[in-house]
Structure formats: structure tokens, C-alpha cells
Chain A
Amino acid sequence: MGLAAETVNLGRVFRNRGSVVQALENVNLRIETGQIYGLLGPNGAGKTTLVKILTTLLLPTTGEAYVYGYNVAKEASKIRPLINLVSGADTPGYGLITVRENLWFYSMLYGLDKETARERINRLIEEVGLKDVENELLRNLSTGYRQRMNLARGLVNEPSVLFLDEPTIGLDAVSARKIRKLIKDWVKGDSGRTVILTSHYMAEVEEMCARVAVLNKGRVVAEGTPAELRSLVAGKTVAVMEVWLPTDADRVLDMLEAAYKTHDPATNIYRIRVVVNNWDETANIVEHITSRGGKVLSLVKAMPSFEDVYVKLVGGGEVVSEFEA
């Protein structure tokens, strides 16, 4: 298996009006072909920046990046026919032409001949489930259908590497599941296909990806298969607690590197998860909370999940997940 993408000491800095943001720093990744590769990280981790560099939209400021061995800075024209990009935050296309016409339009940017374009678009409309809306104007489509059309659009040139930047963001659970299945099926369809997918949903990445790089503040903090990453918390335990905290005391949680999903601002009650090496440590945690004026309302022992790995790697704070633990 060859490399679909590779980065060598890759860095990217943004400078605007005196402020300097190090969006990526010293990123070294080797992404093999034939798999779904995940880039996982919280908002602002640098996922989109990395995707933009690999898709030739943005230049590195330090280091190098390659797609299929071609340098993104110097050989963009060699890379562009091989890739495509679907970004969940965008809604490309033209509202006053139909779904089919939109797909045809994008296929023309790749120079497909008439017959090939027609056959491929027919197939994509079937596979992606756009049959009922193929002759609808794009502007009349629901978000879920629009995202499916966007995915079909990304497949119109049969890319070797498909980049998906948060492809299920903002979708309802049913639509998101459909999109995930479509992506998995597409990769299985041919051994040469690679997907590089970003997400801040750990469950999505765990379910879909053969390998994952976890990004935090522009750096790769862990890399491996989901199983390898899970082993980072092997042998550990999770304390699930309900705590009441005085107003403005959520720094207490930062210090604990605790993750919370639910926080009721009316009652100031948080439901938190903290990874501990052994159960005795929970005594210290309770002590820590009560000494700062908080109260522990309940305390339950649990097995660590993939999510706990993620929290351990990127630090505490609010955790977004569409799969309730």
C-alpha cells in the first residue's frame, strides 16, 4: 500500500493585524491508501487547516505536505485531478438548477465526456439516494438531501482521495447515519480509495476510521487505531459524578481534567466523567470539589470509553457527542 498523504514537520501560522495563530505545528502523518483516516479534535484544533493544505487551498508556512507523493506547494496541478473535498459547513451548488444539473456542472469541471458523466451521475444519484429529488431545484432541498448531493458532488470525479471536513455537522441523527454509511460503502467499493475525514465527534471517528490522529491546539497528540488509542486508558477506571458547583467555579473542572456533557445552568449541576488510575483517587477528587465549596451528589464507577481517551488527550471541558453514553 502506498501513501495517500504525508506531512513532514508541517506547520501553518496565520497572521492578521498583529495577532499570530499557530494553527498547525510540527505535524508528521503518514496516511496509507485504502482506508478511512480520521482527524479528530475539538474546535480550533487545526483540522480544517490541515485539510486545506492537503487539498491545495492553503500553503504550509513550514515543512511539507504530499498527496500521492506530489508536493502540495509545487505540484498542485498534479494533485487536483486526484482529489475532491466535501465540507459539511458549506452548501455549494446553484439553487435555481436541479440536483442533476448541479452534478453535471461539477462533472464538467473535471472534463468528463458526455457519456461518462451521464452514467456516473445516474449511478451516484442511485447510490447516494437522490432519486426522489434529482429533478428538484437545489434550493428546495432539505439540509440532509443537500449534504447528500454535496457528497455525490465530491464523488463525481471518482477521486483517489476524498477529503471530508466534518461531513455530518448540523445533520439530524438519521441523515448523519446515512452519510456515514455512504462513505464507508464508497471506500469498500475499490481498494484504491482513501477518505480523510475530520470530526469532533469521537464516536463517529471510532465507528468509521481505521486509524485516527488526535489534534489539539495544532499538534498531533496521539495517533493509531481506535483500539490502540483506547488502550491509553486500559486498566483505568472512570468516576461518573453529579456535582453541584458554586457559580463561576467551572475552573474546578478544568483542574480535574473532567469532561462534562450536561450542565444545567438553573441548578448549577454538572454530570462529569473523570479518568482515574485507581478508585482511591476519587477521595482526592471529592476533597478537591468540597474544599472549593462544591457538593458531590452522586458517584458511580464506570468502564472507560473511547470518549474518555479523547478527553484525556485534549483536556477537560464540554464534550460534544451525538451518541449518549
Chain B
Amino acid sequence: MFTSNWWEAVKLFQNLRHNLKAVYARTYVRVRSQFREPEWVLTESVIPLLIVFAAATLYRVSGSEQLAGFAVLGGAMMAFWDNVLWLMASQFYWEKESGNLDLYIIAPVSKMSILLGMSLGSIINTSIRALLIFLLAAFVLRVPVNIADPLAVFLVFTLTLTALYGLGMLMSSLYMLYGRGAYQLNDILSEPIYLLSGLYFPTIGRYSPFPAIVQFLVSLIPLTFGIDGLRRTIILGQGVEQIMLHIYVLLALTVALIPLAWRVLIFMENLGRREGRLSLRWM
């Protein structure tokens, strides 16, 4: 009994190490690729920056100094949202086109590790862009930063990313299953989601112009509570106690989305093996 348990434990550990290697390798590929073409970081930061400048200036002219600061944070987070919506979601599509997807499937490693690696790589790449947007905008617009509790900032930021990329991982499989339809939906929904999630102005809490029911619905978008939490901790100087709700919501989204992404990924792999195609519908 003892030896068999011990053996199980060793195997589990080896398996975990093997999967962590795959996560690391996939992360490396993504980060390395970006640094081979660093000019992308700049070009892809231009549009969010312009939007931030426009929005912040507008708020400032209308006399709201804090809202200007909110817009800057929104702009930085827009980089993550764009990345999830466009890059993460269509990733498997490109992997399939090149033949990588088949190679991932036949590799003796969890497909979830590949997806995690893609996400981690994306997070690292996009963080650089988001930081650039934030620093530039905050500097040029002289946004008053007021961080009272760095731990709170760290918690909110990390949980926002885990929830956001949980959604990204889910979308990458849904994208394969629904093909072009998903792409069009993405296109149609991206602007409303910018607005509803609070990239431009707060959509939950006391500054929100929306009724409670809309506020509840928009809070299901991981970005919404994330941005609000970051505003509170970075601009309004709030601490962990004041953002407990944010932490709970983001944690709940993370815990729901990542296992769901895992399930859908397994579903996709099985569908491919059974039907010989990855899409549920014929376009």
C-alpha cells in the first residue's frame, strides 16, 4: 500500500513537472516572439493612448479630475481586453492552420498547459504595453496617483488578469467550435463591452449612470470589477477592506471560468476526434 501510494505521488509530481515545462515553453515562445518585433508594442499602444487622451481631456474640461484618472486606467486595461478578445480567442485558429494544433493534441501533455502558457505569455507581453500606456498617459496628463495599499492593487490586478484570461481561454475553444460566427459576434460586441465594462467611465458603483440590473449584468464581465477595483486602489487610495466585494467577484469569476475553459477544451478535442472537425456548425 505504502509503496503504491509513494509511486503514485512520484508519478503525479513528474506529470506536474512535465506540464509546467510545457507551460513555460509556450510562454517563452510568445514572449520571445514579441521581443523579436518590439515595435509592435509601440504601434499597438497608439490607439488606446489616443482614446485615453481624448476621454481624459473631455473629463478634465468638464471639471472632473478623478474621472480623467479613471480614463487612464481604463486605457491601460483596454490593452488586456483587446489582447483577450482578439489574440487569445483566435489563437487556436492559427494553431490549427499551421498544423500545430494536431501536434498539441498528440503530445503527451495536458492541452490546458498549452493554453495556460499562451495566456501567461500574453499577460507578460500585454503588461508591458499596458504599463507603457499607463505611464505615458499618467505622465502627460499628470493624473494624481494615490496608492495607499499596494497589496490591494496587487490582489485586484492579479485576480482581474486570472478572470480575464480565464475568459480568454474559454473563448479560444468557443472560437474553434463556432468558427466565423464567433468572430462576427466578437466584432459586434467589442465596442459595447468597452463601454459597459467601464473602460471610458465607471459603470458600477456610485459614479455609474446605469440601473442596478445593468450594473449586475456588466459585473459578469471580468473587466468591470477589475477596472473599478484598480481605480479605487490606485486613484482613490482605498485598501483591501473597501474592495472585498471586488476580490470576491473576481475570485468567483476566476474559479468559474478557468475550469469551464478546461471542460470546453476537452470537449473540443473529443469533438475533433469523433467528428473529424472542430466546428459545431457548418459555415
The reply to whether the CB of B29 lies closer than 8 angstroms to some CB of chain A is yes
A80's partner among B24, B98, B107 (CB-CB below 8 A) is: B107
Known A-B contacts A56-B273, A94-B33, A137-B36; the reply to A108 vs B102 at CB < 8 A is no
Query: Is B60 an interface residue when CB atoms closer than 8 A count as contact?
Result: no
Residue in chain A with minimal CB distance to B96: A90
Evaluate whether A90 and B17 lie within 8 angstroms (CB atoms) in the complex, with A96-B33, A108-B22 already known.
Answer: no
B33 nearest CB across to chain A (Å): 4
Indicate if A249 sits at the interface (CB-CB under 8 A).
no
Least distance between B27 CB and chain A CB atoms (Å)? 10
**Chain-B contact segment, one of A39-47, A99-107, A199-207, A237-245:** A99-107
Query: Closest approach, in angstroms, between the C-beta of A12 and any C-beta of chain B?
Result: 8
Question: Mask for B14-56, Cβ within 8 A of A = 1, else 0?
Answer: 1001100110111011001100110000000000000000000
CB distance from B241 to the nearest CB of A (A): 43
Indicate if the CB atoms of A57 and B272 lie closer than 8 Å.
yes
Contacts of A105 in B (CB 8 A): 25-26, 28-29
Q: In the complex, which of the residues A14, A55, A101 contacts B32, with contact meaning CB atoms closer than 8 Å?
A: A101
CB distance from B198 to the nearest CB of A (A): 34
A90 touches B276 (CB 8 A): no
The yes or no answer to A174 lying at the interface (CB within 8 A) is no
**Complex contact B109–A92 (CB within 8 A):** no
Does A33 touch B at the CB level, under 8 Å?
no
In the complex, what's the smallest C-beta–C-beta distance from A133 to chain B, in angstroms? 16
Can you list, as one digit per residue, whether each of A73-101 has a CB less than 8 Å from chain B (1) or not (0)?
00001001101110101111111110001
Q: Determine how close the nearest CB of chain A comes to the CB of B39; give it in whole angstroms.
A: 13
Shortest CB distance A99–B (Å): 13
From A12, A91, A109, A111, give the contact of B98 (CB < 8 A): A91
Which residues of B from 90 to 107 have beta carbons under 8 Å from A?
Answer: 98-100, 102-107
Complex contacts, A80 vs chain B, CB 8 Å:
106-108
Q: Which of A16, A92, A108 contacts B100 (CB 8 A)?
A: A92
CB pair B36–A106 under 8 Å, yes or no, is no
Within residues 155 to 173 of chain A, which ones have a CB less than 8 A from any CB in chain B? none
Are B32 and A85 in touch, CB under 8 angstroms? no
A contact residues around B105 at 8 Å (CB): 56-57
Give the contacting residue for B22; candidates A14, A92, A109; CB below 8 A.
A109
Query: In the bound complex, what is the Cα–Cα distance between A101 and B102 (angstroms)?
Result: 20
* A residues in contact with B277, CB < 8 Å: 16
Q: Does A256 contact B (CB under 8 A)?
A: no
Number of A-B contacts (CB under 8 A): 89
Whether B274 sits at the interface, judged by CB under 8 Å, is yes
Shortest CB–CB separation between residue B118 and chain A, in angstroms? 12
Measured in the bound complex, the distance between the Cα atoms of B117 and A94 in whole Å is 14
B104 in complex: contacting residue of A84, A94, A109, CB < 8 Å:
A109
Binary B-proximity of A295-306 (CB < 8 A = 1, otherwise 0)? 000000000000
* Chain B CB within 8 A of A251 CB: no
* Chain B residues closer than 8 Å to A97, beta-carbon distance: 29, 32-33, 36
Contacts A56-B273, A59-B274, A83-B106 given; does A108 touch B25 at CB 8 Å: yes
From A102, which residue of chain B is reached at the shortest CB distance? Answer: B29
Tell me, rounded to whole Å, the shortest Cβ–Cβ distance linking B102 to chain A.
6
B217 shortest CB reach to chain A, Å: 36
Is the C-beta of B2 less than 8 angstroms from some C-beta in chain A? no
B109 adjacent to A109 (CB under 8 Å): yes
B163-184: contact bitstring with A at CB < 8 Å (1 yes, 0 no)?
0000000000000000000000
Inside 8 A of A12's CB, which chain B residues have their CB? 276
| Interface membership of B282, Cβ < 8 A | yes
Is A110 in contact with chain B by the CB < 8 A criterion?
A: yes
CA of A80 to CA of B21 in the docked complex: distance in angstroms? 17
Distance (Å) between the CB of B173 and the closest chain A CB?
Answer: 17
Contacts of A56 in B (CB 8 A): 105-106, 273
Cα–Cα distance between A111 and B274 once the two chains are bound (Å):
28
Q: Which residues of A contact B37 (CB under 8 A)?
A: 96
- B25:A104 contact, CB within 8 angstroms: yes
Complex: how many Å from CA A50 to CA B98? 21
**Residue in B37, B109, B282 with the greatest tally of chain A CB atoms within 10 Å:** B109
CB of A110 within 8 A of CB of B108, answer yes
Q: Interface centre among A16, A17, A94, A109, by most B CB within 10 Å?
A: A109
Q: Please, which residue of chain A has its CB at the minimum distance from the CB of B14? A: A111
Choose from B22, B28, B29, B106 the contact partner of A55 (Cβ within 8 Å): B106
Given contacts A91-B98, A109-B104, 14 further A-B contacts (CB under 8 A): A14-B276, A56-B273, A57-B102, A57-B106, A85-B103, A92-B98, A97-B29, A105-B28, A108-B22, A108-B25, A109-B22, A109-B103, A109-B107, A111-B17
> Which B residues form the contact surface with A (CB < 8 A)?
14, 17-18, 21-22, 24-26, 28-29, 32-33, 36-37, 98-100, 102-109, 114, 272-274, 276-277, 282
Q: Could you write out 19 A-B pairs with CB less than 8 Å apart?
A: A55-B106, A57-B102, A57-B105, A57-B106, A80-B108, A85-B106, A91-B98, A97-B33, A101-B28, A101-B32, A106-B107, A108-B21, A109-B25, A109-B103, A109-B107, A110-B107, A110-B108, A111-B14, A111-B108
Q: Which are the 4 A-B pairs with shortest beta-carbon distances? A: A90-B99, A111-B18, A108-B25, A96-B33
